[in-house]
């Protein structure tokens, strides 16, 4: 049988961050800079469901904002997954079709795995539920999926309640279900809370359905990593590594070279073109785009930056938000760029700071030069034209304009605009006092000797 019914998705996301020692809702903790709930929503949206309902807890305003435009329902009393699903179903009154139930703290589940879970509900005419399971080498602590001889589900047994024989099974529950919408409300009414926690669990639904002669099928996830949940900061760190690893692999398959992939850290929205070379220890923050054949050397840090093709960046370079690097640009070691555009073929090779600047093409910005863009109250712009030569250890005090072809002598502090092709020098007149250094040292030596004689 094939799927031919509408789909609604209910995401259970009301969990607090208690075990994380956090005041944020659990699903608002981020992977690669994006809240867990948004990772899951991104995958769910690819199923094109008719409805997506997210069950939240009271006062979780940030979570409500994060999942918009999708609908949210508040679980007034946090007393189990069954209670949460009841809250979600209240928004789906009259819906006919499949209900896909997912846990918000299992963010990396793939579209293919969800599709398999939905399809498994159509393996027989009396299949009303499908449950997503996974085989683990070490299932200790997880609820076991107990199967009948025909491989339908008999029951879900929590680890602490399982017999020794049941604990030998290695097919565990992931928490994802696909349910027949027309029966789900009735099944939920049959849930009880006669357990140690006094809570209502959706894991009891298969046994309730079986009393009506309705079977539950098991769909197995092939990749255990994608159905790992998150309860602690340690779990979150492990999920981060899984997501980082997958994203690195995707980039490398698309033609990006990573000399030490494990040392490259990506953001969920990082864009890297084919032919880029990434040396070790490179960090990408939010909103970074790297063009073709860029070479990024070791120990660079990027946020809010665009790097155009064939440029060389680093080592030890930092591009802050608003950095727009042109083609064939050279940004060298210990250079910081902030809120500035750098024209094609310009060079800032070492030990420089460029902030709030528009720099033209073919500029040479020498060692130790900086734009002085802040007076303690406001930021000011520096405009540097094409082909300008800025010498070493130059201070460009904004607001300032250097026209095309201007030449700024080393060691100058420039406070007035420089016209095209002009030389600007601002230095004190050198003064040489012959023999001064020798007399100074002799005087110091005499003072030290006199002190020693007195003591």
Give the pLDDT confidence score for residue 354 in this predicted structure: 98
| 3-state SS assignment for residue 219 | strand
Is residue 408 within 8 A of residue 416, CB to CB? The reply is no
Write the pLDDT tens digit of every residue in 371-393: 999 999 999 999 999 999 999 99
pLDDT band at 151 (very low <50, low <70, confident <90, very high): confident
Write the pLDDT tens digit of every residue in 86-130: 999 999 998 999 999 999 999 999 999 999 999 999 887 778 999
| 175 pLDDT above the threshold of 80 | yes
- The CA distance from 326 to 209, in Å, is 63
Nearest to 354 by CA among 311, 170, 343, 229: 343
Highest mean pLDDT of the ranges 4-13, 196-205, 258-267: 258-267
| 3-state SS assignment for residue 230 | coil
Write the pLDDT tens digit of every residue in 4-51: 689 999 999 999 988 899 999 999 999 999 999 999 999 999 999 999
Is residue 133 within 8 A of residue 174, CB to CB? The reply is yes
Pairing mode, strands 341-342 and 357-359: parallel
CA distances from residue 137 to 108, 170, 172, 174 in whole angstroms, order as listed: 20, 7, 10, 15
- The CA distance from 255 to 251, in Å, is 7
**Architecture of the domain delimited by 263-424:** 3 Solenoid (2.160)
Residue 414 neighbours by CB under 8 Å, 6+ apart: 394, 395, 396, 397, 400, 402, 408, 424, 426
| 447 pLDDT above the threshold of 60 | yes
> What is the mean predicted confidence (pLDDT) over 319-347?
98
| 135 pLDDT above the threshold of 90 | yes
Give the pLDDT confidence score for residue 455 in this predicted structure: 65
From 3.40.720.10, 3.90.550.10, 3.60.40.10, 3.40.1110.10, which CATH number describes the 7-227 domain? Answer: 3.90.550.10
| 142 pLDDT above the threshold of 90 | no
Give the pLDDT confidence score for residue 123 in this predicted structure: 85
Q: Domain map of the chain by residue range?
A: 7-227, 263-424
Angle between helices 36-45 and 111-120 (to 10 degrees): 60
Mean pLDDT of the chain: 94
Residue 267 neighbours by CB under 8 Å, 6+ apart: 32, 33, 284, 285, 286, 287, 288
> Which residues are part of the catalytic machinery?
350
Angle between helices 181-189 and 81-89 (to 10 degrees): 130
Confidence (pTM): 0.88
Give the pLDDT confidence score for residue 79 in this predicted structure: 87
């Amino acid at each position: 049988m094939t799927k031919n019914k509408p789909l609604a998705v209910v995401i259970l996301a009301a969990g607090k961050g208690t075990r994380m020692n956090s005041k944020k809702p659990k699903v608002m903790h981020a992977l690669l800079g994006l809240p867990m709930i948004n990772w899951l929503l991104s995958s769910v949206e690819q199923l094109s469901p008719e409805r997506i309902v997210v069950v939240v807890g009271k006062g979780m305003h940030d979570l409500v904002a994060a999942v918009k435009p999708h609908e949210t329902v508040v679980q007034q009393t946090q007393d189990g997954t069954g209670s949460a699903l009841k809250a979600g179903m209240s928004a789906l009154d009259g819906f006919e079709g499949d209900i896909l139930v997912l846990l918000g703290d299992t963010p990396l589940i793939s579209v293919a795995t969800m599709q398999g879970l939905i399809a498994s509900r159509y393996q027989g005419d009396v299949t009303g539920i499908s449950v997503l399971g996974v085989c683990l080498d070490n299932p200790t602590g997880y609820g076991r999926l107990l199967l009948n001889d025909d491989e339908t589900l008999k029951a879900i047994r929590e680890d602490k309640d399982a017999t020794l024989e049941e604990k030998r099974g290695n097919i565990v529950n992931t928490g994802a279900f696909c349910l027949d919408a027309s029966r789900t409300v009735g099944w939920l009414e049959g849930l009880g809370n006669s357990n140690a926690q006094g809570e209502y669990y959706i894991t009891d639904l298969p046994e309730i359905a079986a009393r009506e002669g309705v079977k539950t099928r098991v769909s197995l996830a092939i990749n255990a990593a994608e159905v790992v949940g998150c309860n602690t900061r340690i779990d979150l760190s492990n999920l981060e590594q899984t997501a980082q690893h997958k994203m690195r692999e995707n980039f490398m398959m698309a033609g990006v070279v990573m000399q030490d992939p494990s040392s490259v850290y990506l953001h969920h929205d990082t864009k890297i073109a084919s032919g880029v070379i990434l040396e070790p220890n490179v960090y990408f923050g939010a909103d970074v785009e790297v063009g073709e054949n860029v070479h990024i050397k070791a120990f660079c840090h990027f946020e809010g930056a665009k790097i155009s093709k064939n440029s060389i960046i680093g080592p030890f370079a930092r591009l802050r938000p608003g950095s727009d690097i042109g083609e064939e640009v050279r940004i060298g070691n210990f250079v910081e760029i902030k809120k500035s555009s750098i024209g094609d073929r310009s060079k800032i090779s070492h030990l420089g700071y460029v902030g709030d600047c528009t720099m033209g093409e073919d500029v040479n910005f020498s060692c130790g030069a900086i734009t002085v863009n802040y007076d303690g109250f406001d930021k000011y712009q520096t405009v540097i034209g094409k082909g300008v030569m800025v010498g070493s250890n130059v201070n460009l005090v904004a607001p300032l304009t250097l026209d095309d072809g201007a030449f700024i002598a080393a060691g100058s502090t420039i406070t007035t605009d420089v016209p095209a092709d002009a030389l600007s020098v601002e230095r004190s007149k050198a003064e040489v006092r012959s023999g001064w250094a020798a007399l100074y040292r002799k005087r110091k030596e005499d003072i030290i000797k006199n002190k020693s004689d007195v003591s």
